[in-house]
């Protein structure tokens, strides 16, 4: 239902049922209510449900998950909300419901783009967590879908809504550190081995067929659900797209660059010998035609910090440097390395928190999405920006998997003259689950 129809229908309903027969204006007007549904509520999605339910004039109408424990987590997260949500396990059924405005997606990576496409095709605005595609082709499709169906798609690049970082970008672009020509991002953790999984019967609490959804079918194993799917290429996208996405996005944002000309990556699964397929150690470099470059260092199994922080980014200019240590903080140094400005964290950072690494700062991003639905502002992380950033992460993985240097078309990021790498631009889908705009 579009906003105009919603306003009209609500006005008609209100006129016939209200005891005090006068219109309600302001932020609590019925026409300003935003009703959402959340897909994937085991961890991050439960945080979505709780956070959105606390925003003014926002209701969580539905929770969608395929596992009973996850559903309980989601319900527990909104137990104090004024409205108790309905549970629908199949996303294909959920998106046909007419009584909600926006779909929030925090399911596993292989579901992000297919669910987002289902949402906008059924008239819903979409908030999709990073990565906004399991491969480059999918996020390109979401841009096409946004344009075709005319619905908002906000990507979970939360730092783009942090007021302090918005101000920091203005300072960098205003010349605070001169010409920003190089950026370094990093993420560290102390993840343990996932072992060698055993093929076992699917737990009775899990609909594994629906959990796999668009992904080609593989056997269930005892080291996959809930979190370790991140490290299998059939469902996940590795640490680059899981956590690197955030700081790489900030580097691209601060540097004002879009698509790379050249991408390299080195690393591998070094820490343990187990089922983990994606790199646990990775160093990727992205070069751009305008004489700028970005590097990202990911260490999933070695938590020794860089510059005293487990995650962050540094922007180097010819007249100074800007340092961020993972949250809304930043420091600016002049060309003599003298500290000239410091914005300290307003909330405690937990870089390895899988629910919310930056705490309540993320509410600014959720609010931006809701207020854009209300037509009061514009998205800070629209799908076209999310695509450009996650593409860097995908290209790093493709370079890593093929052991090749990627040369890219700087107008769209597409890989040039590399058949093996180009084959990883998109994926195969389970029959009947193909994405179509």
Angle, vertex CA 86, rays to CA 83 and CA 91, nearest 5: 135
Please report the pLDDT score of residue 283 as a whole number: 98
For residue 302, pLDDT over 60 is answered with: yes
48, 106 contact by CB (below 8 A):
yes
- Look at residue 377 and tell me if it is in a domain: no
23 or 112, which is more confident? 112
281, 270 contact by CB (below 8 A):
yes
Find the mean pLDDT for residues 294-317.
Answer: 98
Please report the pLDDT score of residue 94 as a whole number: 98
Do 348 and 411 lie in one domain? The reply is: yes
User: Domain holding 85: CATH number?
Assistant: 3.40.50.720
Q: Which of 157, 191, 218 finishes a domain? A: 157
Do 168 and 118 lie in one domain? The reply is: no
pTM of the predicted structure, to 2 decimals: 0.91
Find the mean pLDDT for residues 18-40.
Answer: 67
Q: Which domain holds residue 56?
A: 3-157
Per-residue confidence at 293, pLDDT binned at 50, 70, 90? very high
191, 301 contact by CB (below 8 A):
yes
Please report the pLDDT score of residue 345 as a whole number: 79
Q: Which of 157, 185, 218 finishes a domain? A: 157
Q: Which of 103, 135, 157 finishes a domain? A: 157
Backbone angles phi, psi at 171, to 5 degrees: -65, -45
Which residues share a beta bridge with 408? 415
Q: Is cis: bond before 139, omega within 30 of 0?
A: no
- Look at residue 247 and tell me if it is in a domain: yes
Sequence-distant (≥ 6) Cβ neighbours of residue 273 within 8 angstroms: none
Find the mean pLDDT for residues 50-62.
Answer: 97
Do 125 and 177 lie in one domain? The reply is: no
b/e map of 387-400 (b: 16 or more CB within 10 Å)?
A: bbbbbbbbbbbbbb
Do 183 and 325 lie in one domain? The reply is: yes
18 or 90, which is more confident? 90
Backbone angles phi, psi at 173, to 5 degrees: -70, -20
- Look at residue 122 and tell me if it is in a domain: yes
Do 74 and 219 lie in one domain? The reply is: no
Per-residue confidence at 350, pLDDT binned at 50, 70, 90? low
User: Domain holding 333: CATH number?
Assistant: 3.30.360.10
Q: What percent of the chain has pLDDT over 90?
A: 89
- Look at residue 364 and tell me if it is in a domain: no
Instruction: Quick: pLDDT tens for 351-385.
Output: 665 665 556 889 999 999 999 999 999 999 999 99
CA–CA dist 20, 310 (Å, integer): 56
Please report the pLDDT score of residue 360 as a whole number: 80
Per-residue confidence at 31, pLDDT binned at 50, 70, 90? confident
Do 37 and 137 lie in one domain? The reply is: yes
Q: What percent of the chain has pLDDT over 70?
A: 90
For residue 170, pLDDT over 50 is answered with: yes
Do 168 and 148 lie in one domain? The reply is: no
How many domains, the chain?
Answer: 2
Among the listed ranges 12-21, 69-78, 227-236, 337-346, which one has the minimum average pLDDT value? 12-21
Sequence-distant (≥ 6) Cβ neighbours of residue 83 within 8 angstroms: 53, 59, 60, 61
For residue 56, pLDDT over 90 is answered with: yes
Per-residue confidence at 83, pLDDT binned at 50, 70, 90? very high
Instruction: Quick: pLDDT tens for 243-285.
Output: 999 999 999 999 999 999 999 999 999 999 999 999 999 999 9
- The overall average pLDDT reported for the chain is 92
Please report the pLDDT score of residue 8 as a whole number: 38
Do 232 and 270 lie in one domain? The reply is: yes
CA–CA dist 278, 260 (Å, integer): 22
- Look at residue 436 and tell me if it is in a domain: no
- Look at residue 153 and tell me if it is in a domain: yes
Do 136 and 167 lie in one domain? The reply is: no
Do 189 and 153 lie in one domain? The reply is: no
- Look at residue 432 and tell me if it is in a domain: no
Do 295 and 239 lie in one domain? The reply is: yes
- Look at residue 126 and tell me if it is in a domain: yes
Please report the pLDDT score of residue 421 as a whole number: 98
CA–CA dist 56, 349 (Å, integer): 25
Do 132 and 170 lie in one domain? The reply is: no
């Amino acid at each position: 239902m579009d906003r105009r129809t919603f306003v009209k229908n609500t006005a008609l309903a209100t006129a016939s049922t209200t005891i005090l027969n006068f219109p309600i204006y302001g932020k609590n007007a019925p026409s300003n209510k935003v009703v959402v549904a959340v897909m994937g509520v085991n961890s991050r999605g439960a945080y979505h449900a709780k956070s959105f339910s606390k925003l003014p004039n926002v209701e969580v109408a539905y929770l969608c998950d395929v596992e009973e424990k996850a559903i309980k987590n989601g319900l527990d997260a909104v137990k104090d909300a004024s409205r108790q949500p309905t549970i629908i396990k199949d996303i294909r059924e959920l998106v046909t419901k007419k009584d909600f405005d926006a779909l929030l997606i925090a399911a596993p990576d292989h579901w992000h783009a297919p669910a987002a496409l289902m949402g906008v095709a059924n008239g819903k605005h979409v908030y999709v967590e990073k990565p906004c595609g399991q491969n480059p082709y999918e996020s390109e499709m979401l841009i096409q879908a946004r344009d075709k169906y005319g619905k908002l798609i906000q990507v979970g690049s939360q730092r783009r809504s942090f007021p302090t970082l918005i101000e920091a970008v203005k300072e960098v672009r205003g010349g605070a550190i001169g010409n920003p020509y190089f950026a370094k991002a990093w993420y560290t953790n102390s993840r343990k081995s996932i072992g060698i999984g055993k093929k076992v019967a699917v737990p009775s609490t899990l609909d594994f067929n629906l959990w796999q959804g668009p992904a080609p079918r593989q056997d269930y194993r005892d080291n996959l659900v809930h979190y370790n799917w991140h490290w299998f290429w059939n469902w996940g996208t590795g640490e680059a797209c899981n956590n690197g996405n955030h700081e790489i996005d900030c580097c691209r944002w601060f540097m004002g660059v879009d698509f790379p000309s050249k991408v390299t990556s080195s690393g591998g699964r070094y820490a343990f010998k187990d089922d983990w397929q994606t790199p646990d150690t990775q160093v990727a470099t992205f070069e751009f035609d305008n004489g700028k470059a970005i590097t990202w260092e990911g260490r999933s199994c070695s938590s020794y910090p860089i510059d005293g922080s487990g995650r962050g980014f540094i922007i180097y200019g010819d007249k100074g440097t800007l340092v961020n240590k993972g949250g809304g903080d930043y420091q600016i140094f002049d060309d003599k390395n003298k500290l000239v400005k410091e914005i300290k964290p307003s909330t405690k950072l937990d870089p390895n928190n899988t629910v919310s690494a930056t705490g309540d700062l993320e509410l600014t991003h959720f609010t931006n999405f809701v207020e854009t639905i209300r037509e009061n502002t514009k998205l800070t992380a629209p799908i076209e920006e999310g695509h450009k950033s996650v593409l860097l992460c995908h290209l790093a993985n493709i370079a890593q998997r093929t052991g090749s240097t990627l040369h890219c078309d700087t107008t769209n990021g597409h890989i040039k003259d590399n058949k093996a790498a180009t084959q990883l631009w998109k994926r195969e889908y389970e029959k009947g689950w193909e994405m179509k705009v």
